[in-house]
A = this chain, B = another copy of it.
Amino acid sequence: MTDPVYETALGASTKDKITLLGRDLAEEVMGTVSFGELAFWLATQRRPSPGETRVFEAVLAALADHGFTPTAIVTRLTYLSAPDSVQGALAAGLLGGGSRFLGVTEDCGRFLHAVLAEAELPSDERGWDALALETVEKRRAERKFVPGLGHHVHKDGDPRTPRLFAIADEEGLRGPHLELFAAIGRVHPRVLGKTLPLNGAGVCGAALADLGLPLELLRGFALLARTAGLIGQLAEELRRPVANDIFLSVDLNNRSVAPDPEP
């Protein structure tokens, strides 16, 4: 067969030069491009503006670490069990970044995008409220939750949400996804009969979608943020170890019971 050709605009190197995204890595990227800016650029192949980078990095900060989440516990336990493999401990933690704990960001961004794809863009707040009302009513009729609505701890409001809206406004980057999400926050009580907070994971998804990042990979940015958080968890485990105590607290509280065969 004829040799296949694998095209890429990412890293490439010759004997004397390394390029990344078509730029000279050493001269044009190192020392010039911040890590958040580079991550955005790698994902879109488009260099972000300073404002886009600021919103993007605010999202990463919002998602980096939430304390002893299952992913953090998993990374610490895996490092306890296999200290020879930092990559394994980080990978194990990231594998918890699925539908339940890190998925809201992606679900919310995709959901808002799907609604906007079907609708004509409203020109004012009243228009956004009407679209949001229709959207929430439709979900209700389908007995489905509205992604990004509600939080088990921050019942009166997630502090990350107003802050991210404010940052997007400061940078002139409140786009249709954030507009629709804000409108859902205003109108949902009329439909649901109670007021739920717009959660931080959801507003992050709306902001990432407004930045034009690939919807299929929104979860990936939550995972990038979490990678930094998990390294922090490992660094703390090295000086304030808790993994062995967690393991023992489970092991010491286990109770052996009789097998319970499948019916």
Contacts and interface: CB of A to CB of B under 8 A. Distances in A.
Interface of A: 1, 3-22, 24-27, 29-31, 33-36, 38-39, 42-46, 54, 57-58, 60-62, 64-74, 77-78, 80-92, 94-103, 153-157, 159-160, 162-164, 166-167, 170, 200, 212-214, 216-217, 219-221, 223-225, 227-229, 231-236, 238-240, 242-243, 245-263
A9 B97 contact: no
Contacts of A84: 84-85, 98-99, 103
Given A26-B159, A31-B163, A42-B64, 8 more contacts: A4-B246, A9-B259, A30-B160, A70-B247, A84-B84, A87-B98, A220-B234, A224-B227
Contacts of A90: 94, 220, 223
A57 B92 CA distance: 25
Contacts of A170: 31
Among the interface residues A22, A36, A64, A95, which one has the most CB atoms of the partner chain B within 10 A?
A95
Contacts of A81: 69-71, 74, 96-98, 100-102
Contacts of A234: 217, 220
Given A61-B29, A95-B88, A228-B38, A236 B67 contact: no
Copies in the complex: 4
A251 B68 contact: yes
Given A44-B261, A96-B78, A258-B9, A235 B253 contact: no
A61 B39 CA distance: 9
Contacts of A227: 223-224, 227
A96 B8 CA distance: 20
A10 to B, nearest CB: 5
7 pairs of A and B residues whose beta carbons are closest in the complex: A82-B98, A42-B232, A81-B96, A46-B261, A35-B36, A45-B259, A91-B91
